Amino acid sequence: MAHVHPTAQIMDGEGDDVELADDVVIGPHCVLGGRVRIGAGTRLIGHVYGQGPLTIGEANTVYPFACLGFAPQDLKWDPDDTGAGLEIGDRNTFRETVTIHRATSHDTPTTIGDDNYFMAVSHAGHDCRVGDGCVLANNVALGGHVELEDRVTIGGATVIHQFVRIGRGAMLSGGVGTGLDVPPFCTLTGINVVGSLNVIGLRRSGMSRDEINDLRWAYRQMYREHRHPKEAIDTLREYTDRPRIAEIIAFIESTSRGLCSRPRKYTPRNSRT
């Protein structure tokens, strides 16, 4: 049986329909309204606000003042339109003051996968799709329609523009931002700049040495050989039988915003004498 603190408000108005699985814990001063489903073992510590349509899976932990499923920050969207809502998977952690908004769609909800860690004050806008095993440090902001593939790590205070895609296993430094797609397994080191391959992340993921070497080679073709992007992609296509290179190609071919660039070589100006 779910444990609901006496001060929590499980709304019972028109359109409200809250279902709590066994051993769910709803702490003090939480407020749930609309159509809400919460899976077994999930804990809302206190002062958590959830607005349906909202589905939260099993074994999640939500810290105080997190707000899940409220209306999107989109001036074209009627805030009273519930849309497709927000769906959250299992074993996620949402720290203090995290905000995640529901979709501006009646077909596809904003989606958070499994085993993600949202640190304090991080934000995912409407229609975002976050995969599994991602880490968002403090004050990270995902604009609407952003897509994070699995195992993405984002440093604090980094901002992702609307409709941007971040490839699997990528790492983004803190205090930067991007309005362009970041290829899988790469590291964002400046604004719209990919500066290296995420080698440490590749090793920690258990990827084989041959796979890492394939990715090193692919990275050189894209960012170190000073080639035109089309020429680099044509070279990569000669090795589509290698799974990691094929993954890079598939990501590049599906980009609509374009890819982050390589670092510019710094040439100091001649000083006046």
Residue whose tokens read 């990528």 = 170
**Mean of pLDDT over the chain:** 93
pLDDT in tens, 199-244: 999 999 999 999 999 999 999 999 988 777 778 889 999 999 999 9
What CATH number does domain 3-148 carry, 2.30.30.60, 2.160.10.10, 3.40.50.300, 3.30.70.3270? 2.160.10.10
- Considering 101, 123, 126, 145, which one is annotated as catalytic? 126
- pLDDT band at residue 13 under the 50/70/90 scheme: low
pLDDT band at residue 265 using 50, 70 and 90 as cut-offs:
low
Q: What percent of the chain has pLDDT over 70?
A: 95
- The confidence score (pLDDT) of residue 211 equals 95
Q: Which of 57, 144, 167, 169 is catalytic?
A: 144
What is this structure's pTM?
A: 0.93
Q: What is the pLDDT at residue 14? A: 65
User: Is 126 a known active-site residue?
Assistant: yes
* List 90, 114, 127, 181, catalytic entry: 127
User: Which residue from 1, 31, 38, 36 is spatially nearest to 15, judged by alpha carbons?
Assistant: 36
Q: What is the pLDDT of residues 58-105, one digit of tens each?
A: 999 999 999 999 999 999 999 999 999 999 999 999 999 999 999 999
pLDDT band at 1; cut points 50, 70, 90: confident
**pLDDT tens digits, 132-145:** 999 999 999 999 99
Q: Does the active-site annotation cover 127?
A: yes
